[in-house]
Amino acid sequence: MTITEFQRLIRDIYFDKDRRRGNDGTFRWLVEEIGELARAMRKADRANLEEEFADVFAWLSSLATLEDIDMEAACAKYSKGCPKCGAIPCRCEEPSRE
Protein backbone atom coordinates (compact mmCIF):
# COMPACT_ATOMS: atom_id res chain seq x y z
CA MET A 1 0.00 0.00 0.00
CA THR A 2 1.35 3.44 -0.89
CA ILE A 3 1.15 6.45 1.39
CA THR A 4 -1.54 7.89 -0.88
CA GLU A 5 -3.57 4.67 -0.75
CA PHE A 6 -3.30 4.63 3.04
CA GLN A 7 -4.36 8.26 3.34
CA ARG A 8 -7.36 7.60 1.06
CA LEU A 9 -8.34 4.52 3.08
CA ILE A 10 -8.18 6.44 6.36
CA ARG A 11 -10.19 9.26 4.72
CA ASP A 12 -12.82 6.78 3.53
CA ILE A 13 -13.09 5.25 7.00
CA TYR A 14 -12.95 8.35 9.22
CA PHE A 15 -13.38 11.61 7.27
CA ASP A 16 -16.94 12.37 8.40
CA LYS A 17 -16.00 11.88 12.06
CA ASP A 18 -12.74 13.81 11.61
CA ARG A 19 -14.53 16.72 9.95
CA ARG A 20 -17.09 16.90 12.78
CA ARG A 21 -14.32 16.70 15.40
CA GLY A 22 -12.32 19.38 13.57
CA ASN A 23 -8.60 20.01 13.28
CA ASP A 24 -8.06 20.80 16.95
CA GLY A 25 -9.85 17.69 18.21
CA THR A 26 -8.13 15.49 15.64
CA PHE A 27 -4.76 16.94 16.61
CA ARG A 28 -5.46 16.15 20.26
CA TRP A 29 -6.22 12.52 19.34
CA LEU A 30 -2.92 12.39 17.43
CA VAL A 31 -1.06 13.65 20.50
CA GLU A 32 -2.78 11.04 22.67
CA GLU A 33 -1.71 8.30 20.25
CA ILE A 34 1.87 9.61 20.34
CA GLY A 35 1.70 9.30 24.12
CA GLU A 36 0.56 5.68 23.77
CA LEU A 37 3.46 5.04 21.39
CA ALA A 38 5.87 6.58 23.91
CA ARG A 39 4.54 4.26 26.64
CA ALA A 40 4.93 1.21 24.41
CA MET A 41 8.51 2.26 23.62
CA ARG A 42 9.38 2.83 27.30
CA LYS A 43 8.01 -0.59 28.21
CA ALA A 44 9.79 -2.16 25.22
CA ASP A 45 6.40 -3.66 24.37
CA ARG A 46 7.21 -5.05 20.91
CA ALA A 47 3.76 -6.59 20.56
CA ASN A 48 2.12 -3.18 20.96
CA LEU A 49 4.64 -1.03 19.04
CA GLU A 50 3.39 -1.92 15.55
CA GLU A 51 -0.19 -1.11 16.55
CA GLU A 52 0.78 2.23 18.07
CA PHE A 53 2.92 3.24 15.08
CA ALA A 54 -0.06 2.44 12.82
CA ASP A 55 -2.39 4.49 15.02
CA VAL A 56 -0.05 7.49 14.99
CA PHE A 57 0.27 7.31 11.21
CA ALA A 58 -3.52 6.99 10.82
CA TRP A 59 -4.20 10.05 12.98
CA LEU A 60 -1.45 12.01 11.22
CA SER A 61 -3.04 11.08 7.90
CA SER A 62 -6.46 12.19 9.17
CA LEU A 63 -5.09 15.54 10.23
CA ALA A 64 -3.27 15.98 6.91
CA THR A 65 -6.52 15.26 5.06
CA LEU A 66 -8.37 17.88 7.11
CA GLU A 67 -5.62 20.35 6.22
CA ASP A 68 -5.80 19.28 2.53
CA ILE A 69 -2.21 17.99 2.60
CA ASP A 70 -1.18 15.09 0.36
CA MET A 71 1.08 13.04 2.64
CA GLU A 72 2.90 11.34 -0.22
CA ALA A 73 3.70 14.70 -1.81
CA ALA A 74 4.77 16.08 1.56
CA CYS A 75 7.07 13.09 2.15
CA ALA A 76 8.79 13.82 -1.17
CA LYS A 77 10.71 16.44 0.82
CA TYR A 78 13.05 13.57 1.77
CA SER A 79 13.20 11.84 -1.63
CA LYS A 80 16.70 13.12 -2.42
CA GLY A 81 18.13 12.72 1.06
CA CYS A 82 18.44 15.07 3.99
CA PRO A 83 16.63 18.33 3.14
CA LYS A 84 19.46 20.32 4.76
CA CYS A 85 22.67 18.66 3.58
CA GLY A 86 21.28 16.55 0.71
CA ALA A 87 23.20 13.47 1.83
CA ILE A 88 22.12 9.87 2.35
CA PRO A 89 22.82 9.20 5.17
CA CYS A 90 22.53 12.68 6.65
CA ARG A 91 25.86 14.36 7.41
CA CYS A 92 24.46 17.27 9.40
CA GLU A 93 26.06 17.77 12.78
CA GLU A 94 23.80 17.04 15.71
CA PRO A 95 23.16 20.08 17.91
CA SER A 96 24.36 19.78 21.48
CA ARG A 97 21.55 18.98 23.96
CA GLU A 98 23.40 20.34 26.98
pLDDT in tens, 33-47: 999 999 999 998 888
Whether 88 is covered by a domain: the verdict is no
- Per-residue pLDDT tens over the stretch 1-13: 999 999 999 999 9
Average the pLDDT over each of 28-32, 44-48, 67-71, 94-98 and give the range with the smallest value: 94-98
CATH assignment at residue 31? 1.10.287.1080
DSSP 1-64: --HHHHHHHHHHHHHHHHHHHHHHHHHHHHHHHHHHHHHHHHTT-HHHHHHHHHHHHHHHHHHH
Whether 41 is covered by a domain: the verdict is yes
- Per-residue pLDDT tens over the stretch 55-92: 999 999 999 999 999 999 999 999 999 999 999 999 99
At residue 75, the pLDDT reads 97
Rounded to two decimals, what is the model's pTM? 0.89
Whether 84 is covered by a domain: the verdict is no
Whether the Cβ atoms of residue 56 and residue 26 lie closer than 8 Å to each other: no
Quote the domain boundaries for residue 50.
3-78
Distance in angstroms (rounded) separating the CA atoms of residues 54 and 79: 22
At residue 11, the pLDDT reads 98
Question: Structural domain tally of the chain?
Answer: 1
Whether 15 is covered by a domain: the verdict is yes
Whether 34 is covered by a domain: the verdict is yes
Whether 97 is covered by a domain: the verdict is no
**Total length of the chain:** 98
